[in-house]
Amino acid sequence: MTKTKLFTKAAILSLGLAISGSAFAATTLHVGTWLPPTNPQNAVVWPTWAKWVEEATEGRVKVKIEHDLGHPKTMFQLVEDGVVNAGFSYHGYVPGRFKLPQIVELPGLGVGAEAASVALWRVYNKYFMDSGEFVGLTLLGTFTHGPGYIHSIDPITSFDQIKGKKIRIGGGVQSELGERMDVTPVSAPAPDVYQMMQQGVIDGAFLPMGEQKTLRLKEVAPNVTMLPGGMYLGSFSMFIDPYFLEKLDPKDREAIMNVSGEKLSALAGRAWDGIDDEGLKAAQEAGVNIIRVKEGDQMAQDFQKLIQGMDEQWIQSVSDRAPNARQALKELRTVAREYEREHQE
């Protein structure tokens, strides 16, 4: 055999191995995050979803979590621009764009995060998916954190005591509640709350109980006022770059979506419910003053008066996007409460 034939044969063999290797090389799906590693989204939700994705695609798609990507309001754009392939964020950080998910934030739902997350996913898909709020993105799931309470430096046992105080507000329905309570609102992402309270920049914050542990608020917020059922829920979405999906083999694209949707939404809600339980325990162990307002107490009655008209106000505010908002709100509450009852039995 001549040197030329040997070279040609070796070149063909090398090319074949290269093609074979590239054919089986895994695609990396980069997920961006902004919350600390201890948060349930990073400690439970994304790692579990990563496992689901890798199993569903038989290892052809690997998931890598990218931490500390800045302010959560930029996450939508980072995914739209392809800086990362997927991410999540809180709708309230982008005022004006995401009005429809606030349907689940309204006071009075009376369920935990898992039931609320599943209800939001079902209702958003049924009624709102064509609204254009997620243009440039593909929705992977929706979820809420648990009921929001008042974490404060001084004890709050009446709404008179919170008037004029500097309170961190996360946006969304919280903004309306803060206005009705006549507080001085301070806008900031949740991870900044510890330092702001430590430095006296704010007097308190509206947050779920889990942050007593994940954000270590038990060290700087010695009081938590818990109204029955909480004051509100906070809504989030998980999303992926549609162009990234388009580049995948159709079977892998389908596999990723099959392990997302309601399954992923329920997982996220369940994880946030879990951290609320841990947060309450951590607060109690740290000696935090837990002020449990009971049904019928004056503060609970005052809260019911304070939130009057909020449903109608939201329905009117989204009338240009969702003429069926009233029906959607009624269905969301039915779905959430039925789901809660079924999964508590």
Q: Is the pLDDT of residue 7 over 90?
A: no
Percent of the residues in the chain that have a pLDDT greater than 90, as a whole number: 87
Tell me: do 190 and 251 sit in the same domain: no
Lookup: tokens for 62: 């690997």
16 in any annotated domain? no
Tell me: do 319 and 217 sit in the same domain: yes
Tell me: do 154 and 244 sit in the same domain: no
Higher pLDDT, 241 or 7: 241
CA-closest candidate to residue 98, choices 261, 253, 318, 307: 318
143 DSSP β-pair partners = 236
Q: What whole-number distance in Å separates Cα of residue 87 and Cα of residue 194?
A: 24
Tell me: do 323 and 222 sit in the same domain: yes
For the chain, the domain total comes to: 2
Q: Is the pLDDT of residue 278 over 80?
A: yes
- Specify the CATH number for the domain of residue 50: 3.40.190.170
6 in any annotated domain? no
Tell me: do 222 and 264 sit in the same domain: no
22 in any annotated domain? no
Strands 27-32 and 61-66: parallel
Tell me: do 119 and 228 sit in the same domain: no
87 in any annotated domain? yes
Tell me: do 242 and 166 sit in the same domain: no
18 in any annotated domain? no
Look over the chain and give the mean of its residue pLDDT values, rounded to a whole number. Answer: 92
Tell me: do 103 and 164 sit in the same domain: no
Q: Where among 274, 304, 335 does a domain terminate?
A: 274
pLDDT value at position 305?
A: 97
Q: What is the pLDDT of residues 20-59, one digit of tens each?
A: 334 457 899 999 999 889 899 999 999 999 999 999 999 9
DSSP category for residue 345: -
Q: Is the pLDDT of residue 169 over 50?
A: yes
| Cβ atoms within 10 Å of 58's Cβ, excluding its own | 11
pLDDT value at position 345?
A: 58
250 in any annotated domain? yes
Q: Where among 274, 305, 336 does a domain terminate?
A: 274
Lookup: tokens for 109: 């739902």
Tell me: do 249 and 303 sit in the same domain: no
Phi-psi category of 165—alpha, beta or left, where left has phi over 0 and alpha has psi -120 to 50?
beta
Exposure string of 303-323, with b = 16+ CB inside 10 Å and e = fewer, is beebbeebbeebbeebeeebe
Lookup: tokens for 232: 């509100």
Lookup: tokens for 157: 């046992």
Tell me: do 242 and 220 sit in the same domain: no
299 in any annotated domain? yes
Q: What is the pLDDT of residues 134-152, one digit of tens each?
A: 999 999 999 999 999 999 9
CA distances for 175 relative to 167, 178, 179, angstroms: 10, 5, 6
pLDDT value at position 10?
A: 33
pTM score of the predicted model:
0.89
Q: What whole-number distance in Å separates Cα of residue 337 and Cα of residue 335?
A: 6
Tell me: do 255 and 296 sit in the same domain: no
Those residues whose C-beta lies under 8 Å from the C-beta of residue 72, and which sit 6 or more positions away, are 34, 35, 89, 90, 93, 189
Concatenating the DSSP letter of every residue in 206-222 gives EEETTHHHHT-GGGT--
Tell me: do 61 and 168 sit in the same domain: no
21 in any annotated domain? no
Q: Which domain holds residue 107?
A: 27-145+234-274
CA angle 171, 176, 179 (to 5 degrees): 110
